[in-house]
């Protein structure tokens, strides 16, 4: 079958090959025909090594498709079901899953999740984050898919799989933005505009978007930002909006030490800085030993919007159905599997919110 393959960490381009094979669908697994898959910055980060990922691998994790085969023992899914791929499959039994923190479940991810299920010339090929959606079909543990109603467009469903759940979830689940608060969001890609939409849903009074690229700032305004500025103008807008105190909530959706630090600095004393962007494990962010206590800010990370996708994907779908989330406008362009390298180039150049790969 056709799949995009990254041969080794550090490769700047993927190869789209026709001779990638799939392992058989084993007990407890399903085979999914991928129909749509968004291109997330985390795919680029897995290629560059910012996010640890065994190679060679099939990138892609923001995907939706249709079940085409069900392995022995799978009783809750059937051929023909439409599903969103879940890149952290909740095992349903560990203390995280039982404690409302299914996004922190590592039981499957760290075991069967990292068994390579693709093959190329007889050699094992992994899937990005245990999934790998830039391909025609993928075999996954049954917990790594969430069934959705068949009338949800695959494009909408795929975005929910990462950017939307991550961004909206960080605002409403992780940071729990309160109505009437002031919010600043650094980075206006797919994740950033989803944070903006989540903050708007939560009733934020002002949402200030920060991005280096003018077209992304325009995008941010379309999705609900009340202000959108270049980083150099943030100080002035902060004075206008907050009287110079700083924002109630800050979100970082870029993944750089400088912007993580800037997010913390943009937040008022007692406010919340929520870090969504993913940087490298050896990149450090400095905080003074004095400011932590004195500013009494809450510094929090957010992984996949603190979601329990078994219920939260459905929340996102219903918010989209009722017009409270605009997911269609997040797609800047639609390409086929052959367009993946172009999609990566466009993302690096800041030209797109999301490229959708249709298969
Ligand atoms: N926490 C999670 O669970 C999770 C899930 C998905 C993605 N992510 C991470 O979220 C981040 C954003 O992902 P995305 O797909 O939206 O990326 P993206 O590349 O589409 O968007 C990043 C945006 O940041 C802007 N930008 C870059 N450097 C900047 C700077 N110094 N100052 C201001 N703006 C700057 C770019 O112009 C772009 O608009 C990535 O780090 C990604 O790995 C995290
Ligand atoms: Zn992602
Ligand atoms: Zn679990």
Give CA–CA dist 239/247, Å, rounded.
Answer: 10
Judge if the beta carbon of residue 344 lies within 6 A of ligand 1: no
Judged by DSSP in three states, 4 sits in: strand
Task: Report which ligand 1 atom has the smallest distance to the Cα of 50.
Answer: 43
The beta-strand segments (E) located in 155-233 are: 182-186, 206-210, 227-229
Closest ligand 1 atom to the C-alpha of 278?
41
Test site for ligand 1: of 164, 253, 279, most ligand atoms within 8 A of the Cβ = 253
| Neighbouring residues of 354: CB distance < 8 A, sequence distance ≥ 6 | 38, 39, 40, 159, 163, 189, 190, 330, 331, 332
Ligand 3 center–CA 284 separation, angstroms: 29
Neighbours of 222 (CB within 10 A): 13
Element containing residue 58 per DSSP (H, E): strand 57-58
CATH class in words for 3-162+306-358: alpha beta
CATH match of 176-301 with 3.30.465.10 = no
Please indicate whether residue 228, judged by its CB atom, sits closer than 6 Å to ligand 1.
no
The pLDDT value recorded for residue 113 is 76
CA terminus-to-terminus distance, the chain: 12
Q: What is the DSSP secondary structure assignment for residue 170, as one 8-state letter?
A: I
- Whole-number pLDDT of residue 110: 85
Q: pLDDT tens digits, residue range 98-147?
A: 999 999 999 999 887 789 999 999 999 999 999 999 999 999 999 999 99
User: pLDDT tens digits, the chain, 359 residues: what are they?
Assistant: 999 999 999 999 999 999 999 999 999 999 999 999 999 999 999 999 999 999 999 999 999 999 999 999 999 999 999 999 999 999 999 999 999 999 999 999 988 778 999 999 999 999 999 999 999 999 999 999 999 999 999 999 999 999 999 999 999 999 999 999 999 999 999 999 999 999 999 999 999 999 999 999 999 999 999 999 999 999 999 999 999 999 999 999 999 999 999 999 999 999 999 999 999 999 999 999 999 999 999 999 999 999 999 999 999 999 999 999 999 999 999 999 999 999 999 999 999 999 999 99
- The H-or-E segment that residue 120 falls in is strand 118-120
Give the span between the Cα atoms of 352 and 229, in whole angstroms. 18
Ligand 1 pocket mutation, candidates 38, 39, 40, criterion most atoms within 8 A of CB: 40
Domain ranges across the chain: 3-162+306-358, 176-301
Q: What is the pLDDT of residue 161?
A: 98
């Amino acid at each position: 079958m056709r799949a995009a393959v990254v041969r080794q960490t550090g490769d700047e381009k993927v190869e789209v090959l026709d001779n990638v094979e799939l392992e058989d669908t084993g007990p407890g697994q399903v085979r999914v025909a991928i129909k749509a898959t968004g291109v997330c910055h985390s795919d680029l980060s897995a290629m560059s090594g910012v996010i640890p990922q065994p190679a060679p691998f099939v990138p892609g994790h923001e995907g939706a498709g249709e079940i085409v085969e069900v392995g022995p023992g799978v009783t809750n899914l059937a051929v023909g079901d439409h599903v969103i791929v879940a890149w952290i499959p909740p095992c349903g039994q560990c203390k995280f899953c039982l404690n409302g923190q299914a996004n922190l479940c590592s039981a499957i991810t760290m075991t069967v999740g990292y068994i390579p299920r693709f093959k190329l010339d007889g050699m094992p090929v992994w899937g990005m984050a245990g999934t790998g959606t830039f391909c025609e079909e993928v075999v996954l543990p049954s917990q790594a898919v969430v069934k959705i109603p068949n009338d949800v467009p695959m494009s909408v469903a795929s975005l929910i799989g990462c950017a939307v759940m991550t961004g909206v979830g960080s605002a409403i689940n992780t940071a729990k933005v309160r109505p009437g608060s002031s919010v600043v969001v650094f980075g206006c890609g797919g994740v950033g505009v989803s944070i903006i939409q989540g903050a708007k849903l939560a009733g934020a009074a002002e949402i200030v978007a920060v991005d280096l690229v003018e077209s992304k700032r325009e995008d941010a305004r379309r999705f609900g930002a009340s202000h959108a500025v270049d980083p150099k103008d943030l100080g002035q807008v902060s004075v206008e909006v907050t009287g110079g105190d700083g924002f109630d909530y800050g979100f970082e959706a870029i993944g750089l030490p400088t912007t993580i630090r800037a997010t913390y600095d943009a937040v008022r004393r007692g406010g919340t800085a929520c870090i969504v962007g993913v940087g490298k494990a050896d990149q450090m962010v400095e905080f003074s030993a004095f400011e932590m206590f004195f500013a009494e800010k809450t510094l929090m990370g957010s992984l996949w919007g603190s979601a329990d996708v078994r219920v939260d994907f459905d929340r996102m779908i219903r918010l989209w159905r009722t017009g409270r989330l605009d997911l269609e406008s997040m797609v800047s362009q639609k390409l086929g599997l052959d367009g993946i390298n172009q999609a990566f180039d466009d993302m690096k150049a800041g030209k797109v919110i999301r490229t959708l790969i249709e298969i």
